[in-house]
Every structure is written in structure tokens, then in C-alpha cells.
Structure 1
Amino acid sequence: MKIERFDSNDGPHATDVAVTTRTFKAGEVFARHSHEEGQFAYAATGGISMFTDEGNWIVPTQRAIWVPASVGHEMHMHGPVTMFNTFIGPRAAQLAALPSHCQVFGVSAFVRHLFDAMLELPADACARRARLEAVLLDEMSEMPRLPFSVPLPQDPRLSRACRRMLDAPTQTISIDEMARLANVSRRTFTRRFREATGLSLVVWRQHVCLLEALSRLSQGASVKDVAVDLGYSSTSAFSAAFKQLLGEPPVRYCSRYRTLAVAAR
């Protein structure tokens, strides 16, 4: 999309920021696509799974994901999703300190209010738009980065094994099983996996399961059912791992998620 604004001094010209909004039904899939500008997708309600050639990401409600320009990606919606999309050109992306790779961010209430304010601007509010853009980019530069991603190895053998794991996440799969799926020795798998992802299989497996848990909880699954389905030894073990990644136990997360969803209706 082409982004334009009107400036009171020199007429219409390309700008670096445009905010839009769109709603999706539960289970809807936004097929693989890319943008000329970077995309900052904020889930006001619902949750989003995003897939690229490099990995996959989970975007819980009230969080956002940055997708750099020209990166092909596919989005899957968990629950009814209200998405705020901010399309950002290269100059503005630098000002906002946005990285050259996909990244999930925490988003403050103030940034959300800035999205609302920019959506409500009349077309001729050039000076106010410029001021809001400057504040928005400054606030974005301070957003916390969140570890809601699972990198995928480029090696086709390892990638094949990892995608099998993504199709059926479980804490019970072992290094030996993953090595067999990849058709390599345990030693080769362990070495190449860490080289490709920067993680051990144990840590990677934990992230896969917790991201899957986020998706299921956002769709209304119970904490107990999620813990059992993902192969955790107990609900308390799952809750401890969840809190370590997200900073709060799953019961509190689910309660807050439902409260936010009702408030956004």
C-alpha cells in the first residue's frame, strides 16, 4: 500500500506512518503475503499466530508483532481478532528502533491511545498528525521485546523434524526422537540444532509448548486440559513454566484476557 498524508507547507507527499484497523473471525487465516512497508500488528482482542520461513510467533491479546518490509508471512486468528495495523516506512522504523527481523512487543495503554487518536484524525489535520506520529515513534522505541518466537532451522532435515513437532507440540518428545525424525545421529542433531537456532532442544521445545498453550488458552481451553495435552507432568509444572516466560500464571492470564475481551466489545 502507498502511504500518503497532507502537509500544510508543501502539499501531499509520502509519509512513513499510517494506522488502520481490521476485524477477523475466530479461526480465520490471512494467507501468505508481504508489504512494501513494515507492519506493526497489534492484537487489541484475540490472539494471532504468525508463520514465516524463519520461524513462527504467537501474539497474545494486547501485544503486537513487528514484520519488516517484504517479509512473507501468514496469520492465523485465535478468537475474534481486532487488529490495529501501523504501516511504517524505513525512516520511521529507524526512529522507532524497530529491528530488521520479526519481533513481538509489549504495548502500553498510551500507545494504544495513540493508535485511536491517529485513526480519528480528519484528513486535513496535518500538524496534529505530524505531532502524533513523532510521539508514537518515540514511544515505540521504548517498547519491551517479548520472547514469543520459535526459530526454525534452515537445514531441511532439521526443519522437517521441527515442523512435525509444531504440528503436535509435546514436552515428552526426546532428542533421540527428533534425531530420528531428522534422520541424523543424536550428536549431529544436537550440534546442528544449537548452531541453527541458538537454543538447546529443551529450551526450544519449552517455547513451542508455551506458545501453543497461549494459543489454546486464548481460545478458551482450560489450564488443566492444556497442561495434559502438551505432556506436562502436572498442572503446577505447566503453570511454573508459563509464569517464567510470561511473568504471570495461566489462571491470571486467562482472567485478564477475558476481562480485556469484554471491555473491547
Structure 2
Amino acid sequence: MLPPYPPGIADPKNDDAGPLVVVVSQCIEGHTLVDAHSHGRGQLLGVWRGLITLGTTAGKWLVPNVHAVWIPPGQLHWANTHGQVDGWSVYVRASACEGLPQQPATLRLSALLRETLRRLESLHEAPADPMRGLLEQVVVQEVRSLPAQALNLPMPTSTSLVKIAQGLLKEPALEHSLEDWAALANVSPRTLSRRFPVETGYSLGAWRQRARLLRSLELLAEGHSVTATALELGYSSISAFIALFKRSFGVTPTQYLRGDSASA
């Protein structure tokens, strides 16, 4: 973590009496699990390099380097890092979070926000700099204007369907039939087909495909090859995996590994 915090800020995650915005950076090596916790301030979580997975009881969000996840004040969440991660967080005073998303959301970063964050980081040693207040206002207004991106995986709400989702998250390559999954959830195939979209917004097949694609980002960030990633996730055709990845993320897996996703 990059010290120091602005003078007078004992806890940048919860101190609502301090500056409007506090920027904190951290470098993490290897796979790390951050246990469930919450903050008194709102948090915008992003990475300069690497990948973070954020989880709540409602679902899972991915944070590649062209996006960030907004976490409202008081939201219980946990996180996993994949590979080497140079991460950053912006903690926004709770009283300034009106108009910001009330649920976690993946936001696509703007060049303006990136450069504003870097400038604010450089002012840790100069808390009285007259530019600070202006930059803090830019951060809050820019977060309000950022477009949301669909890099989340909503979880079902009923206990029976959660069993299916957890099974697919644990083993994305599973090829069970609709009847097999229905038996696991102790419901009829017709009920499963009807309830899964109601609870998640996706059919079971589309949810499974989405789970595999999001997992592919994690595996690639951890250093797995494109071929190894496709095979681990159960794709019989490497080219089919590459084509689906490009349709979903705008770049091929190889381009993503090179960091070309920033221009997608």
C-alpha cells in the first residue's frame, strides 16, 4: 500500500469526516482472498494491472484493467486477486454517495478518471494543495457519469437454484443435462427453465456460458494459456472459445493478454 494517507485520516475506508475522496493503492502477488467485510465509505475498486473478482451474496463482479466496480457504503463484499495485481481504491465520503449506484456495479473507466486518480495519489504529501478539492469533485462527478458494463454474474435467490449455480462455479466444464440439474435442485425441468431466468435474468444455458467466460478472464490473468483455459472450461473447440470470447469482450484472448482490451 502506498503511504501515507492524507494527514488526519486514521481509517480511509470509514472516516467520513475526512476528505471527500481518499485514493489508496496496493500491489498484491499471487492469488489472495480478502474475507467478507464492509466500509463506511463508498468504494470504487479498480486495477492498473491484473484482475480482481468481487463477490456479494447477490453475485460476482470482475474487475479487469479498463473497468472498476462501485461498492456502496455498508455493502458486505469479499474479493479474490488473480496473478500479480496493482490495484487501487477510491473511498468516497458516505454523505457524498447520493446519486451513485445503490448496488454494486461494473463501470467502464474514462481517461479523465484515470488521470485524476493518479494526480490525487501524488498529492498525499500535500493535503492542502488547492487542486485537491477540485480533483475530488471531478472524481465523484465522473463516477456518476460512467456507463455500467455487464461484467457481473447474478446469483439465483432460492436455495435450490443456488445449488446449481454453486456447482457450475466450482466446475464450469460440467455438461449435465437440464434433467440432471433439475434433479439436483429437486424441481422439475419445466420449473427450472422458468425460474432460473426469473431469478438471474439469464437462462441456465446462458448463465453457464457467462460463468465460463468470466472464469476464463480469471484463468488468463493467472497465466494460463488460451488453449489450457479453453480445455479447462470444457470447450471442445479452441477456435469456438476464441470466437465466443471476442464476441463477448471485443478482443481475442491473446489480445486481452497483451492488454489490448483497453482499446476495446
Report if TM-score (shorter chain) is over 0.5: yes
Aligned-partner residue type, residue 158 of structure 2? D
Distance 1:247 1:168 in 2: 26
Distance 1:46 1:156 in 2: 33
CA separation of 1:163 and 1:205: change in aligned 2, threshold 3 A: same
Aligned equivalent of 2:232, options 229, 233, 249: 229
Aligned equivalent of 1:159, options 162, 173, 178: 162
| TM value normalised by structure 1 | 0.87
CA separation of 1:56 and 1:258: change in aligned 2, threshold 3 A: closer
Asked if structure 1 preserves the Cα contact closer than 8 Å seen for 2:243 and 2:252, the reply is: yes
Find the counterpart in structure 2 of residue 9 from structure 1. none
Asked if structure 1 preserves the Cα contact closer than 8 Å seen for 2:15 and 2:40, the reply is: no
| TM value normalised by structure 2 | 0.87
SS in 2 for 1:21: strand
Aligned equivalent of 1:59, options 63, 67, 77: 63
Aligned equivalent of 1:200, options 198, 203, 217: 203
Once the two structures are TM-superposed, the CA of residue 92 in structure 1 deviates from its matched residue by: 3.0
Find the counterpart in structure 2 of residue 39 from structure 1. 43
Runs of 4+ in 1 over 6 A off after TM superposition: none
Asked if structure 2 preserves the Cα contact closer than 8 Å seen for 1:29 and 1:77, the reply is: yes
Asked if structure 1 preserves the Cα contact closer than 8 Å seen for 2:50 and 2:65, the reply is: yes
Aligned-partner residue type, residue 56 of structure 1? K
For structure 1, which runs of at least 5 residues remain unmatched after alignment?
5-12, 260-265
Q: What value does the CA root-mean-square deviation take over the aligned residues?
A: 2.1
Find the counterpart in structure 1 of residue 180 from structure 2. 177
Asked if structure 2 preserves the Cα contact closer than 8 Å seen for 1:60 and 1:218, the reply is: no
Aligned sequence identity (%): 33
1:1-265 equivalences in 2 (<5 Å): 1-3=13-15, 13-94=17-98, 97-121=99-123, 122-125=125-128, 127-170=130-173, 172-256=175-259
Asked if structure 1 preserves the Cα contact closer than 8 Å seen for 2:40 and 2:94, the reply is: no
For structure 2, which runs of at least 5 residues remain unmatched after alignment?
1-12
Q: What's the CA shift string for 1:183-218, capped at 9, x where partnerless? A: 211011111111111111121111100000000011
Aligned-partner residue type, residue 165 of structure 2? C
Aligned-partner residue type, residue 183 of structure 1? N
Distance 1:85 1:29 in 2: 16
Aligned-partner residue type, residue 168 of structure 2? M
CA separation of 1:18 and 1:237: change in aligned 2, threshold 3 A: same
Asked if structure 2 preserves the Cα contact closer than 8 Å seen for 1:170 and 1:230, the reply is: yes
Aligned-partner residue type, residue 258 of structure 2? S
Q: What's the CA shift string for 1:16-55, capped at 9, x where partnerless? A: 3211112222111111111111111111111111121111
SS in 2 for 1:105: strand
CA separation of 1:98 and 1:244: change in aligned 2, threshold 3 A: farther
Asked if structure 1 preserves the Cα contact closer than 8 Å seen for 2:46 and 2:64, the reply is: no
Distance 2:138 2:62 in 1: 27
